[in-house]
Amino acid sequence: MKLAFITLAFLGVATLPLLPALRELRRPRDDQPLSIDLASVRDPRQAGREIRAALGTLTGDGRDAIAADSDLLLDNGRSVVTVTCGGVLDVAEARVSRAYARGNARIGRHASLGAIATDGWLMLADGAAVQAAADAEEGIMAGERCSLGMSAACGGVLELALGSSFRRLWGHPIVAVGKVEHEPEEADPPTIEDVVVWGKRRLSLPTGYVADRDIVVHSDVRIGRGCRVKGSVKAHGSILVMPGAVIEGNLVARKDIHVLGEAALSRNLFAERDLILGPGATVGEWGGYKTAYAGRRVRIARGARVFGALIAHRGGAVV
């Protein structure tokens, strides 16, 4: 008797999660396709618009808020919640939660800044940091070892120097600046990957190969020097792009995407793990906006450019 009761109780508990599904099969209430708004696009500069809307009408000069009609210099270590400046804003040494400048803005290495929007240029000295968001109408110039917080966006060029870190960037283009050291290439003897197409463990496109269609593989992909791919490349493994390659479609990898440098990537890049852009690598082109995304980290070398968005889910850096 006890065993029968335990059995019935077990069956009842096991079938309980199936009741909603059985009810849905009998009387469907959720059998229509999901409605997706294809026109819905996330505005990468929304944070800046919100700062301008909140601080654009700020007036007065109080203990927690400063509103200046002309240029403003903060260099006394003062802590301020909000700052609105009608001219050039220079935060040399102060703690500011939110700031809006109608002119240019300069952030020093000894400043602490939460979020900032400017209608001109935003310039960060070496070692300066923005904790949350930065937005500039004209452009952003970040010195060495700067931190651009959770997001940084601008209407023009966004320049990053060596050692700068970021999460989400938007610019036209995003440029890792600095002198690129070109080491002389060694005349290595060609390997089998340089002369034939093969795919036992990974698909390898040899030097100068032209592919006129999409490529989908269940392993790694190596795109050789000077190759031209007129479609997209999707790999369940990693994608390695050698210098001089031209990719006219998207690159999608379940693992890493590694562009060694001097390659032209016309469309979007999506790596579920890491994304590495070598010296001279270019994503997108003038007049268009593309996205380079990494589910983990991004490493971008000096001389690389991205026209549009550069997103590193776990953080990125200029190396």
Q: Residue 294 pairs with which residues in a beta bridge?
A: 271, 312
In tens, the pLDDT along 61-73 reads 667 889 999 999 9
What confidence score (pLDDT) does residue 7 get? Answer: 76
Which residues, including other chains, have CB under 8 Å from residue 119's CB and lie 6 or more apart? 101, 102, 103, 137, 138
What confidence score (pLDDT) does residue 278 get? Answer: 95
For 270, other C-beta atoms within 10 Å of its C-beta total 18
The Cα 169–Cα 114 span in angstroms is: 17
**According to the 3-state scheme, what is the secondary structure of 126-142?**
CCCEEEEEEEECCEEEE
The Cα 6–Cα 1 span in angstroms is: 9
The Cα 278–Cα 274 span in angstroms is: 13
Q: Residue 225 pairs with which residues in a beta bridge?
A: none
What confidence score (pLDDT) does residue 181 get? Answer: 62
- Tokens representing 93 are 């040494």
Pure H helices in 79-227: none
What confidence score (pLDDT) does residue 184 get? Answer: 47
Q: Is the pTM of this model over 0.75?
A: yes
Cis preceding-peptide flag for 243 (omega within 30 of 0): no
- Compute CA distances 93 → 78, 81, 90, 115, whole Å: 8, 14, 9, 15
Pure H helices in the chain: 2-15, 19-26, 46-55
The Cα 240–Cα 254 span in angstroms is: 13
In tens, the pLDDT along 83-113 reads 999 999 999 999 999 999 999 999 999 999 9
Could you list the pLDDT tens digit for every one of the 319 residues in the chain?
A: 667 777 777 777 777 777 777 777 777 776 666 565 555 567 889 999 999 999 988 776 667 889 999 999 999 888 989 999 999 999 999 999 999 999 999 999 999 999 999 999 999 999 999 999 999 999 999 999 999 999 999 999 999 999 999 999 999 999 999 776 655 455 456 665 665 566 667 789 999 999 999 999 999 999 999 999 999 999 999 999 999 999 999 999 999 999 998 899 999 999 999 999 999 999 999 988 999 999 999 999 999 999 999 999 999 999 9
Helix (H, G, I), strand (E, B) or coil at 8: helix
What confidence score (pLDDT) does residue 63 get? Answer: 73
How many alpha carbons lie under 13 Å from residue 169 in its C-beta half-sphere? 35
The Cα 195–Cα 177 span in angstroms is: 35
Q: Cα angle vertex 277, ends 271, 278, to 5°?
A: 150
Q: Residue 117 pairs with which residues in a beta bridge?
A: 100, 135
For strands 298-300 and 275-277, give the pairing.
Answer: parallel
What confidence score (pLDDT) does residue 194 get? Answer: 61
For 264, other C-beta atoms within 10 Å of its C-beta total 18
- 307 φ, ψ to 5°? -95, 95
Cα end-to-end span (Å), the chain: 72
User: Could you identify the residue written with the tokens 């120097």?
Assistant: 161
Question: Do residues 128 and 108 make contact, with C-beta atoms less than 8 angstroms apart?
Answer: yes
